[in-house]
Amino acid sequence: MKVFINKRIPDIGIKMLEEAQLEVTIPKKDQLSHEEWLQYCQDTDAILSVGTDFKYDKEFFEQCPNVKAIALYSVGFDHVDVKEANQRHIPVGNTPDVLSKATSDVAFLLMQSVARRASYNFEKVKTGNWDDFDPLHALGQELYGKTLGIFGLGRIGFEMAKKSQKAFDMNIIYHNRHQNEEAEKELNAKYVSFDELIAESDVLSVHANFKPEQKELFNSSVFEKMKSNAIFVNTARGGFHHQEDLYDALVSGQIWGAGLDVTNPEPISENDLILELSNVCVLPHIGSATIEARNGMAKLAAENIIAFAKGEEMPHCANP
């Protein structure tokens, strides 16, 4: 069976595929054009797909009828039309769990960086503007006992809530499709409506799986209902927030600050005005970028491909 991997992944995954006697193709070039990627996809049975740049939609499936399985090297699968894949009986694997700690670490890092104005202060140091001690300048806010609102309390949201509670004794409220009994029991998390979530959170952290109908859900009508001390954190997908509305909310002081590991659009333009704000910390989508998480993802993606090659169900599947 032929497996195409569009970008090199940690050796552990490639070794597993080779040991399973699969014919693995990895382009020498790191970044393929859309046409080059399509060409590789036309001549393969399965794809181990790295990144979210390439979309697996109806058009793709029509253009690449030989593709019988896709194993994503990501937990998110918003770049795949799962309904289309289902209709064609194409399993779509993903990589849950192994990146939950790493991604929630980044949400936690952004929350603290914004609360203590790390970007602003780092910029001052870099530009030779180390201020004398000033009782009134560069003051952050403490997170102890504050309310953390989680939008989408799945595995990553749970980890974020757990460490925030341990570190800062934060109260956890959440909004989700379903109530999360484990979080309610273990973290005393309280299920609230979306309106309550935005009105009561001191920190609002987005962790849901992105769906097209949630595009730019966090826009001016939401930011204007948030507290003026609120920190907005997004480590899920940039599509969740309206970036210009967020900029306006940050400039006008409607909210305190924002920590983004994902941007809208992605990658963000270096000229995006949001990057000039002192109450913002932006990272380039590095949620899962640890050795441990990336090895775990390679292993899971390889397991998914190998299971498919054996005619078994993928152990970690995004389609129902």
Q: State the residues that interact with ligand DGY by CB under 6 A.
A: 52, 74-76, 99, 287-288
Nearest residue (CB) to ligand DGY, 48 versus 143:
48
Q: Write out the two tokens for 295.
A: 């090895």
Residue 283 Cβ vs ligand DGY, minimum distance, rounded to whole Å? 12
Cα-Cα-Cα-Cα torsion 101, 107, 111, 114, nearest 10 degrees, comes to 130
285 catalytic, yes or no? yes
Of residues 75 and 222, the one with the C-beta less far from ligand DGY = 75
**Rounded distance, CA 42 to CA 273, Å?**
41
Which residue's Cβ has the minimum distance to ligand DGY? 76
User: For residues 90 and 99, which CB has a smaller minimum distance to ligand DGY in the complex?
Assistant: 99
Nearer to ligand DGY, 202 or 261 (CB): 261
Minimum CB distance to ligand DGY, residue 143 (Å): 25
Q: How far is the CB of 161 from ligand DGY (least distance, A)?
A: 19
Greatest distance between any 2 Cα atoms in the chain: 67
* Closest among 74, 62, 69 to 89, alpha carbons compared: 69
Residue 161: helix, strand or coil by DSSP? Answer: helix
Whether omega for the bond prior to residue 10 falls within 30 degrees of 0, making it cis, is: no
Kindly name the residue from 117, 207, 285, 294 that is annotated as catalytic. Answer: 285
The tokens for 190 are 């309280």
Known catalytic membership, residue 159? no
241 is an active site residue? no
Smallest CA-to-CA distance from 282 within 291, 293, 270 is with 270
The Cα 18–Cα 23 span in angstroms is: 7
CA atoms within 13 A on the CB side of 200: 19
SS3 state at 312: coil
Q: Beta 147-151 vs 203-206: how paired, if at all?
A: parallel
Active-site residue identified among 175, 207, 237, 316: 237
With respect to ligand DGY, which residue has the nearer C-beta, 82 or 199? Answer: 82
Query: Which residues does the annotation mark as catalytic?
Result: 237, 266, 285
